[in-house]
Structure 1
Amino acid sequence: MHLKVVDRTEKQQGNHKQCMGCWAVQPKIKNAVRTPITTFLKRSSVSFHQIYPNRITHFCDSHHKHQHAFLPIEPFPFVERSGNGFLHTYAHRSFAFHLFDKMSEREQSSESRHFFDALDLVKFAIVKPDIVTATMVHSFVRKVGVLAHLPTSTSLLMMYSRAGDFDGSVTLFSEILYKDVVVWNAMMTVCIENSYFGAAVDFFLEMIKGGSGFDSGTLVIAISALSHEKILKQGRVLHGLSVKAGMISDTLLCNAFVYMYAKCSDMSTSESLFEGMHCRDLVSWNSVMTGCLYNNNPEKSLHYLKKMTSCGKQADGVSLSCAIAACARLQELDIGQGIHGRGIKLGYDESSYISVANSLISLYSQCGEIEAADTVFRGIFRKDVISWNSMIDGFASNGMILETFNLLLEMQFKGSFQPDTITVVTVIGLCAELTLLREGRSVHGFIVRRSMGFDLSVVNSLMDLYMKCNNVKAAEQLFNTMAFKDLVSWNTVISGYSQNEHSREAQILFKELLLLPSYCSLSTVLAILPSCHSHASLKFGKSIHCWQLKLGFSGNNLAINSLMSMYVNCGDLKSSFLLFSAISATADTACWNTIISGCIQNGHFWKALQVFDFMRKESHVSHDSITTFNVLSACGNLGLVLEGKLLHGLSFKTLEGTDIRIQNALITMYGRFGEIESAKLVFNFFSNRNLCSWNCMISALSHNKDGKAALECFSTLSFEPNEITISSVLSACTQLGLMRHGKQIHAYVFRFGFQRNSFISAALVDMYSNCGRLDMAVEIFQNLPEKSVAAWNSMIPAFGFHNNGQKAIQVFHEMIESGTSPTKSTFINLLSTCSHLGLVDEGKWYYSHMSDDFGVEPETEHHVCVVDMLGRSGRLNEAYEFIERMETKPEPGVWGALLSACNYHGDLEMGREVAEILFTLEPGNAGYYVSMFNMYVSAGRWSDAAELRRVIQEKGLKKPLGYSLIDVGIG
């Protein structure tokens, strides 16, 4: 390689062979050097010189099919959200476009009398280029023979490009017979302007192969193209070429390499190259700051800003925008405000420097200062589309739904820019998050009218919207009509199926994806695992586990956490613990929360508390509000009052008590403890109550048989009630026998269409049955389009409560014939009906067959029903033998049922024996003492009765007072 060094003296003396003012080195590459360069630089698309005669058709096809030839690269992820327009300017223009705004003159002789007219025409037309003008000027220049004048040809190339006619640029380029470096550089720049980055690389290779040579500007343009396509290997080859050519001292070229390495995620090389630069300009600092931010290191980006300032460099709009974006990432509002003030002091106010303003909008929005963001937005004199998108995203991320849609409307009718794909994706995301199906459909209609439905990100967002709004068919229709699907499309639909309990469809689609030559990502794993949520899908879940190991995700905590959740949902808690034990040393808070939640979900409340104790002993992890929520639930289920109160104090000590979820969990926990006053204190202490808070309070009152207080709480509800609210209030009406209020709730149910909810329909059956209107209960049950297990479980005791045992048994058999599997509650209701109506033989048969024939294992409640059934019929010895034969240790309730039967039939001897057992098991239960006292009185054993009364008084035991309630009103 022969290098010719041109110093500034020669430059000033009029050496017009140089092509740009900043290019000081002009290499001349021999054929021996060109061959290895062409070999090492692999093309990113089809070889351009092979299809040179059909260039126009080739580029036109690639323009319409991005998946082929040249893929346009999207801007940085944080550009779309934070509105940092400086990155577009920096990436697209600093290295390429501005090189041709001021071209050095090249001497060309022309004797045509129209020569200067052509030059003037070109200069005039390039100010505001359009396709028609460019075509006319092209024809005139060709006609008068000025096309050979290279500065004119170069200007025409840029004119076509900036008019949006890339094909015209390619055609013109093929007409230029002699091409110097500037013409080649211009054509490469045209490719970048039109997002044909692969074509720019192809032109560079053809330029070298043709012997035209290159300069530092050529390398800058080629590096810019490689940066967009993130081709690190070829970028390193160009780096070596620039070193070999002696051009690496060029600051502009070094800046391009710093940016390229950062864009290709090789930040260490980017920083090393930056530190090795002898002359750093402002672009150099901005390049490394932008690179740090792009590679998710905002702290280092701010570090370079501080270092730049200490070196005496004054920040410009790009520097400030980058620093503000870093503050937004770090949620550092104070630092961001300081940079804002510094920008105003330096003269970069938001009214003049739009990139700074857009970054400020994102900063204030992400930090919750939405009013400040709006003030900055309104102060922008000339807003661009990024300004509108940033403000719309700010309103959306802060939950300001009305403001979001109002600003979208204002953008359409008052703004100078129309909504683009980023705008609609932001709004669709808001609709999906809040399940606003109606508004989402309106946005979908807008997309169709504006012909934006061909954008892949828009369609993916729409599918996500419909899946989250439970409109699976609409999402399926979009997916099936897509001409091209990327991995996000597949993952979105698979995840949507999983979340909407379409497990079979999710698994079928996942298998189809595996047949395609696509690379599945971690997101695919996270999308398919929720489809495995029952024991029947455990085998498929294990196969996903194996596939995940094969892909190399075994060390990813997020993937392991999802696997643990899958095993928990499938009932295989042992496998979940095995996975957890393998990563316990590095497990994060989410993994600990999963295992604690799994224990609670499977009824292992003590185990959940033990895991929590182990978690607190680990130094590398700390619990969060989700952990506290789960542990409070465990304490509530176990009735651990002291431990629950200690957790209450811990939550306030760690400031978790301000979390609305913790507050609601505390209300529920105290409700299960029966400490209604404590639940009321928690409820009344906080002002930021949501509907769940009210539901928890109403449910706690109803659970503790305080139906009157539950109705009073419901009457002061400050939210529109939902299905959970209605179920709790109907339970209160059932307790009180208040059919008047129950009918009002029933009317509300019909008004809002809640009758389709299985729990509400079951609660209505219970309410009417307990209020004496069996006919209404039967009518509601028969009119149900789909009878859930809850509805069947309500209808069986309804007939039993109204002394129609045979009908209750008939309903049970109808339930079996319908294909509905009975549950634990089904047999409790059935056995209770047999007990109250004296159907002993039937009850014994159902109890003996419930495990083998119906798959329901007997529990304490079933044992109590059987003992009560035998005791009521006078078979006390048989009941006693039944208890003695139980495989598990009898609970106090089982012995209590036998004691009540002894009291009813006056069997004093057995009663005394059973009572002694109960006094040991539950010494504080006054009911057992009262039952024994009544037996002594009935048998005339007054001395024993007096002795027992003395024991009751010494222990301070009191039997709960009974009461009667009459609803005075219209039934």
Structure 2
Amino acid sequence: MVSKPSTSLPSHLGLKFLKIYTHSGDLDSARRLFDKITHPDLRLWTILISAYTNRGFPRKSIELYTQLRKRSIEPDKLLLLTVAKACAALSDVAKAKEIHEHAIKFGFGSDLMLCNAFIDMYGKCRYCQGARTVFNDMPAKDVISWTSMSACYVNNGSLREALEIVRKMCLSGSRPNSMTLSSVLPACSGMKDLNSGREIHAFAVRNGMGENLFVSSGLINLYANCLSFRQAQVIFENMPRKDTVSWNVILSMYVSNGQCEKALQLFHQIRGEGVELNVASWNSIIGGCMQNGLTERALDLFAQMQEFGFKPNYITVASILPACHDLERLRGGREIHGFCFKHCIVEDVLVGTALVLMYAKCGDLENSERVFERLPRKDTVAWNTMILANSIHGNGEEALSLFRKMMNSGVKPNSVTFTAVLSGCSHSHLVKEAKFIFDSIRRDHMVEPDSDHYSCMVDVLSRAGHLNEAYDFIRQMPIEPTAGAWGALLAACRVYKNVNLARIAAKQLFEIEPDNPGNYVLLSNIYVTAKLWNDASEIRKLMRDRGITKMPGCSWVQVNDKVYTFVAGDKKNVQSEEIYEFLQHTSEKMRNAGYSPNTDFVLQDVDQEEKVEVLCSHSEKLAVAFGILNLKGRSLIRVFKNLRICGDCHSAIKFMSKIVGVEIIVRDSLRFHHFREGSCSCKDFW
């Protein structure tokens, strides 16, 4: 064990101990020793500064260098090299410029090694102009100079310039090496420049670099990105040695091409061959399963990942959380939240935003808000998600309040922000506010309104009953009206019983999306309500002729971690008899409290008594009744429906919430309804 000097030391003795401490990684002891040296010379400064840089403490390196300059000590080439490396690690462009100026001041401005380091430094600071200035002023350039300049352009997105610099390199007589090729191949890949990539491939083969690990990985990525999957596969199979990067590239190729099953086969092959997977491999295959709708498989892989000793990171969590955007998997989402909390990644903005959305889509707005408030940093996506969460839950005022807080915090809104806040206005009858925000999109924020913004404004006007104004707005739109705009108008025509505008809107929708059954059903329902039986019959015939079938409505509720699904008139549930008895018994109490069945929502041509029976058997009523019968001390029920909630069911569930004394949350195809004490969060405006 090395004894630690306790008094001030001359430089020659301090040098010996300082080397021992820095080589062993004991930087705290090294710093204490350094501070006890009366007049440390340049060599001692360089040893300690280099140790901080190489051990991953670049900020301390910069601080020490600043102290050195305050003492008017002149740096040498070695010290400037290590400080340049620290600036690159910190991406500190201001300090990088200062170090470059010092190099020129002290006579090192033309040194080849330093100039190469400065090109790399400026590249990592995302300052291409500085790198180019150094490069152009160099009296002589070697392969490292050209390669560093190429890498600088690639890292900063100047892909064409990266390719051009390598071409100039060849014309100058310098011969690219494997690092040059691997640095420029991402430029070809990013531009999908297959021809240039093939030229580089041919050069690599001619010059004995075709089997280089880094070049091969770059070529696989190039061909995969240019959709030359067979060529990518051939290179991969012929690689004498495969690292995790090459495995990940080929794995990602299958995932991005939608070949999830093939990707899974490869993934299991990787594991079978004993290849060391890093977390990126797991992330790639989990993300691929999610993109291809294999949510159950993704959740299984997430569990396996942890069983095999891999720790999911923030990318893993953000990828898997969308699998929990449903009532059935809310418990799984909560478990992932617990994992995030335990492993201290819950405050990551990407993870936090994914959790906000997960809770919101599962009907748990309180937890959604709680996660959002605890985020130490909120970017545009985080604000957008919280605004959207409140919009879909019918909290238009809160969505507007969040929008104003976002503005005040200095975060710049984007197109999605305005879609989210306008959607909140449409669900909460905030017409005046919506008009002001819509007018401000271009005027105050320099964002060009898109089809979603126009559709939202049509929805705002239509839901508020301003149907003629909404129709005029559509006709005056500077862009082609979308199905969203016409669909909003058609939906409002049913609420406000405007048959003429319904015909106009439906005609447009039949042309824009001729296979969407919802438009036909909605128009037919409007005709039935208006007792235009022949017109309704014509629409149903048109559906049959076009082979279009109505999507059956279903609702589901979770009880004791199991999800139960119901369709209209369902009697398959083991408690079906109890469910119908409960509804009949509750119906009497509801009528006494003022409820009157709205038979306009029964489209069959049957007598009034049968219509009431049909209403009683709607899927959302059955699901709510089943949830109430199985409360077991709970005070909250969550029901999801695949279509819009029926108007009569909406009214009935309001009465149920008051009579039974529970909160009932129903999510339909458009939004959430929170029923409490006989009222709904939508204020009967949906």
Q: What's the TM-score, normalizing by structure 1?
A: 0.50
Residues in 1 aligned to 2:381 and 2:659: alpha-carbon distance in whole angstroms: 43
Residues in 1 aligned to 2:13 and 2:405: alpha-carbon distance in whole angstroms: 69
Q: Which residue is 2:96 aligned to?
A: 201
Residues in 2 aligned to 1:740 and 1:533: alpha-carbon distance in whole angstroms: 30
Q: 1:482 to 1:136 in 2, by over 3 A?
A: closer
Say if 1:495 and 1:506, in contact at 8 Å, map to a contact too.
yes
Within the candidate set 331, 341, 348, 1:455 is matched to 348
Q: Does 1:468 align with 2:354?
A: no
SS of 1:520's partner is coil
| 1:726-805 alignment, distance < 5 Å | 748=626, 750-751=628-629, 783-785=659-661
Q: Which residue is 1:181 aligned to?
A: 77
Within the candidate set 127, 141, 160, 2:52 is matched to 160
| 1:382-421 alignment, distance < 5 Å | 382-415=276-309, 417-421=310-314
Within the candidate set 632, 640, 643, 2:542 is matched to 643
Q: CA deviation at 1:395?
A: 3.6
Q: Does 1:606 align with 2:503?
A: yes
Residues in 2 aligned to 1:216 and 1:157: alpha-carbon distance in whole angstroms: 22
Q: Which residue is 2:379 aligned to?
A: 486
| RCO comparison, higher one (Cα < 8 Å, 6+) | 2
SS of 2:277's partner is coil
The letter for the 2-side match of 1:480 is E
Q: Which residue is 2:237 aligned to?
A: 344
Within the candidate set 246, 249, 254, 1:364 is matched to 254
SS of 2:426's partner is coil
Q: CA deviation at 1:113?
A: 11
Q: CA deviation at 1:356?
A: 1.3
Q: 1:739 to 1:284 in 2, by over 3 A?
A: closer
Q: Does 1:355 align with 2:245?
A: yes
Q: Does 1:539 align with 2:435?
A: no
Q: 1:275 to 1:783 in 2, by over 3 A?
A: same
Say if 1:532 and 1:541, in contact at 8 Å, map to a contact too.
yes
Q: CA deviation at 1:641?
A: 4.6
Say if 1:191 and 1:197, in contact at 8 Å, map to a contact too.
yes
Within the candidate set 267, 280, 284, 1:377 is matched to 267
Q: Which residue is 2:498 aligned to?
A: none
Within the candidate set 288, 297, 308, 2:200 is matched to 308
1:695-747 superposed Cα distances (whole Å, 9 cap, x missing partner): 8xx65xxxxxxxxxx66xx6499xxxx99xx9999x999569799999x9697
Structure 2 unaligned residues grouped into runs of 5+? 1-10, 494-500, 526-535, 554-562, 585-600, 667-677
Say if 1:327 and 1:363, in contact at 8 Å, map to a contact too.
no
| 1:562-573 alignment, distance < 5 Å | 562-572=456-466
Query: Greater CA radius of gyration, 1 or 2?
Result: 1
Q: Does 1:260 align with 2:152?
A: yes
1:760-792 superposed Cα distances (whole Å, 9 cap, x missing partner): 9967999xxxxxxxxxx9x9798244899x9xx
Residues in 1 aligned to 2:360 and 2:428: alpha-carbon distance in whole angstroms: 25
Q: Which residue is 2:108 aligned to?
A: 213
Q: Which residue is 1:830 aligned to?
A: none
SS of 1:640's partner is helix
Say if 1:635 and 1:641, in contact at 8 Å, map to a contact too.
no
The letter for the 2-side match of 1:552 is M
| 1:513-528 alignment, distance < 5 Å | 513-528=406-421
Q: Which residue is 2:487 aligned to?
A: 597
Structure 1 unaligned residues grouped into runs of 5+? 1-110, 616-622, 649-661, 669-690, 700-709, 767-776, 791-817, 825-854, 856-971
The letter for the 2-side match of 1:644 is M
Q: CA deviation at 1:206?
A: 5.0
Say if 1:600 and 1:630, in contact at 8 Å, map to a contact too.
no
Say if 2:211 and 2:240, in contact at 8 Å, map to a contact too.
no
Residues in 1 aligned to 2:615 and 2:470: alpha-carbon distance in whole angstroms: 48
Say if 1:432 and 1:468, in contact at 8 Å, map to a contact too.
yes
Q: What's the TM-score, normalizing by structure 2?
A: 0.68
Q: Which residue is 2:389 aligned to?
A: 496
Q: Which residue is 1:530 aligned to?
A: 423
What is the RMSD computed on CA atoms of the aligned residues? 5.2
Q: 1:377 to 1:161 in 2, by over 3 A?
A: farther
Q: 1:243 to 1:226 in 2, by over 3 A?
A: closer
SS of 1:213's partner is coil
1:66-95 superposed Cα distances (whole Å, 9 cap, x missing partner): xxxxxxxxxxxxxxxxxxxxxxxxxxxxxx
Q: 1:112 to 1:421 in 2, by over 3 A?
A: same
Q: CA deviation at 1:357?
A: 1.0
Residues in 2 aligned to 1:186 and 1:213: alpha-carbon distance in whole angstroms: 14
Q: CA deviation at 1:505?
A: 0.5
The letter for the 1-side match of 2:317 is V
Q: CA deviation at 1:243?
A: 1.5
Residues in 1 aligned to 2:637 and 2:103: alpha-carbon distance in whole angstroms: 76
1:211-254 superposed Cα distances (whole Å, 9 cap, x missing partner): 353345445444445444544xxx2244134313345x544334
Say if 1:628 and 1:647, in contact at 8 Å, map to a contact too.
no
The letter for the 2-side match of 1:596 is W
The letter for the 2-side match of 1:593 is A
Residues in 2 aligned to 1:431 and 1:197: alpha-carbon distance in whole angstroms: 40
Q: 1:270 to 1:461 in 2, by over 3 A?
A: same
Residues in 1 aligned to 2:651 and 2:356: alpha-carbon distance in whole angstroms: 39
1:890-913 superposed Cα distances (whole Å, 9 cap, x missing partner): xxxxxxxxxxxxxxxxxxxxxxxx
Q: Which residue is 1:190 aligned to?
A: 86
Q: Which residue is 2:186 aligned to?
A: 290
Q: 1:262 to 1:564 in 2, by over 3 A?
A: farther
| 1:416-427 alignment, distance < 5 Å | 417-427=310-320
Say if 1:553 and 1:559, in contact at 8 Å, map to a contact too.
no
Say if 1:267 and 1:291, in contact at 8 Å, map to a contact too.
yes
Q: 1:435 to 1:274 in 2, by over 3 A?
A: farther
Q: CA deviation at 1:464?
A: 2.3
Q: Does 1:548 align with 2:444?
A: no
